[in-house]
């Protein structure tokens, strides 16, 4: 069997005296859709930032396809094939949808492939950008400035930029935050489509989204994973119900 896409070994992160991540062990297989849930302040974003390289672990390791990437910079981890969603502010509001996606492509390539400098480079780039725009259902918005898009369309564009580099591990931080029910359904379909065959790690508060999308769910409480299992098992877990005071999961 090949190494897991992501493996966390006794991962810890402290800010000053506060130990926020307290020895997390987790294995995420290639092609798995893995959700991280947990109460506010549990450490989900911190864990996310440890995986992407934004934070350096206080102790323990992050392995990517079996390689220890702990302490590497975000761009180095990105080059190895992990891409995280941009915050909404990272969309260029004055640029068109097409220009945004093309930027994502160029940025992820870092101009390092001579391919893009070849005579057909520009054409290939345009074709690739248009292919992504079609995947995220924004073809009819191609030449519109991003700032003029509806909110859900902007989130779709963010996802397009995230997948543009062809990374095989995609991490999305609350992609459905602030969306209506119908917008959420559209985005979930889109996420499923564009991450087909890839590894997906998603932090999300909307339980409907999680149970619909995830193959596996990890529940983080006070910096510890109290359960990591299938959606069915997590839904049935007493420990998880207690952590959520029996409310959120019931409402899902």
Ligand X SMILES: Nc1ncnc2c1ncn2[C@@H]1O[C@H](COP(=O)(O)OP(=O)(O)OP(=O)(O)O)[C@@H](O)[C@H]1O
For residues 207 and 248, the answer to whether their CB atoms sit within 8 Å is yes
Residue among 40, 87, 114, 140 that touches ligand X (CB under 6 A): 40
Query: Total binding residues for ligand X by CB under 6 A?
Result: 10
**Residues 6 or more apart in contact with residue 197 via CB below 8 angstroms:** 31
Would you give the DSSP letter of residue 80? T
| 137 binds Mg ion, rule: CB under 5 A | no
| 41 binds ligand X, rule: CB under 6 A | yes
| 45 binds Mg ion, rule: CB under 5 A | yes
Residue among 5, 7, 28, 44 that touches ligand X (CB under 6 A): 44
Interacting residues with ligand X between 196 and 215 (CB under 6 A) = none
Q: Could you tell me the smallest distance in angstroms from the CB atom of residue 88 to ligand X?
A: 15
| 46 binds Mg ion, rule: CB under 5 A | no
**Which residue is it, tokens 């049935």?**
236
**38 interface partner picked from ligand X, Mg ion, none, CB below 5 to 8 A per type:** ligand X
| 84 binds ligand X, rule: CB under 6 A | no
Q: Which two tokens stand for residue 46?
A: 């911190």
| 178 binds ligand X, rule: CB under 6 A | no
Residue among 5, 6, 8, 20 that touches ligand X (CB under 6 A): 20
Q: Cβ of 144: how many Cβ atoms within 10 Å?
A: 14
**Residues 6 or more apart in contact with residue 185 via CB below 8 angstroms:** none
Q: Is 77 helix (H, G, I), strand (E, B) or coil?
A: helix
The span of 36-44, 66-74, 83-91, 130-138 binding ligand X (CB under 6 A) equals 36-44
The span of 12-20, 43-51, 70-78, 125-133 binding Mg ion (CB under 5 A) equals 43-51
Q: What share of the chain is helix, strand, coil (3-state, %, to 5)?
A: 40, 25, 35
Q: Which helix (H) or strand (E) holds 64?
A: strand 59-64
Q: Closest CB to Mg ion among 44 and 155?
A: 44
Cα–Cα dist 78/70, whole Å: 13
Q: Could you tell me the smallest distance in angstroms from the CB atom of residue 208 to ligand X?
A: 17
């Amino acid at each position: 069997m090949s190494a897991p896409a992501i493996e966390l070994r006794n991962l810890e992160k402290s800010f000053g005296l506060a130990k926020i991540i307290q020895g997390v062990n987790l294995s995420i297989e290639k092609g798995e859709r893995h959700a991280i849930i947990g109460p506010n302040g549990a450490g989900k974003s911190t864990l996310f930032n440890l995986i992407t390289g934004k934070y350096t672990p206080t102790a323990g390791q992050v392995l990517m396809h079996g390689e220890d990437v702990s302490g590497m910079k975000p761009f180095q981890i990105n080059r190895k094939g992990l891409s995280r969603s941009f915050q909404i502010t990272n969309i260029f509001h004055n640029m068109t949808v097409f220009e945004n996606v093309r930027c994502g492509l160029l940025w992820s390539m870092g101009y390092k492939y001579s391919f893009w400098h070849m005579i057909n480079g520009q054409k290939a780039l345009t074709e690739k950008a248009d292919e992504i725009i079609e995947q995220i259902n924004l073809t009819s918005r191609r030449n519109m400035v991003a700032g003029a898009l509806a909110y859900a369309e902007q989130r779709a564009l963010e996802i397009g930029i995230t997948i543009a580099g062809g990374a095989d591990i995609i991490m999305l931080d609350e992609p459905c935050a602030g969306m209506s029910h119908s917008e959420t359904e559209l985005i979930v379909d889109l996420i499923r489509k564009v991450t087909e065959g890839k590894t997906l790690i998603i932090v999300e508060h909307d339980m409907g989204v999680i149970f619909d999308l995830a193959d596996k769910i990890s529940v983080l409480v006070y910096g510890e994973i109290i359960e990591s299992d299938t959606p069915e098992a997590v839904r049935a877990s007493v420990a998880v119900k207690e952590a959520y005071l029996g409310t959120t999961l019931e409402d899902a």
